[in-house]
Amino acid sequence: MAAKDRENQVLPEPLFDVLGRVSGELRDVAMLIEQLEPMLSDGQSDEHLHSPEHMRLLQGIDLAVQKAKGLAAFLDCLGEELDVDHLIDITTALNLVTLADMKTRLRAAVESKNSAAIYQAASGDLDFF
């Protein structure tokens, strides 16, 4: 096996741990989406209340948050039902993830801030990708 392949290889780990990390990422997505709502209804004007398109957008954002939180809770519940000895290899799945910080958080239980907290604190910083 090539050195690069060994570097990307992840040892099998408990499925319940992986599900917990995925559910944490879904909660993070929900927080990121929730941070958009104030921007779309900033209180400076109530014109958006009369716009069906704007209201549909706000309802869509709310639905996305509810879905992400619901999926996170669903995964948490599934994880509680799993045997701790049920191990999986997530190497292939991790290779599909393109965001490096998310890949790191999914790879192992590392202590790090979620994306929503990082971007909230960065206010004004801009990452080009």
Domain count, the chain: 1
Confidence bin at 51 (pLDDT 50/70/90): confident
Beta-strand ranges (E) seen in the chain are: 13-14, 87-88
Residue 91 lies in a domain: yes
Q: Is residue 103 part of a domain?
A: yes
For the record, the structure tokens of 67 come out as 């879905």
- Identity of the amino acid at 46: D
Asked whether residue 37 is assigned to any structural domain, the reply reads yes
Domain membership of residue 2 (yes or no) is no
The reported pLDDT for the residue numbered 77 is: 94
Q: What is the pLDDT of residues 1-22, one digit of tens each?
A: 555 555 566 789 999 999 999 9
pLDDT, position 2: 57
Percent of the chain whose pLDDT exceeds 70: 70
What mean pLDDT is reported for the chain?
Answer: 81
DSSP 108: S
48 lies in a domain? yes
**Whole-angstrom Cα distance, residue 76 to residue 68?**
12
The reply to whether 16 falls in a domain is yes
Name the pLDDT band for 128 (thresholds 50, 70, 90).
Answer: low
Q: Which domain holds residue 82?
A: 10-119
Each residue's pLDDT tens digit, 107-126: 876 666 666 665 556 555 55
Q: Does residue 67 carry a pLDDT above 90?
A: yes
Q: Which amino acid is at 40?
A: L
In a domain, 124, yes or no: no
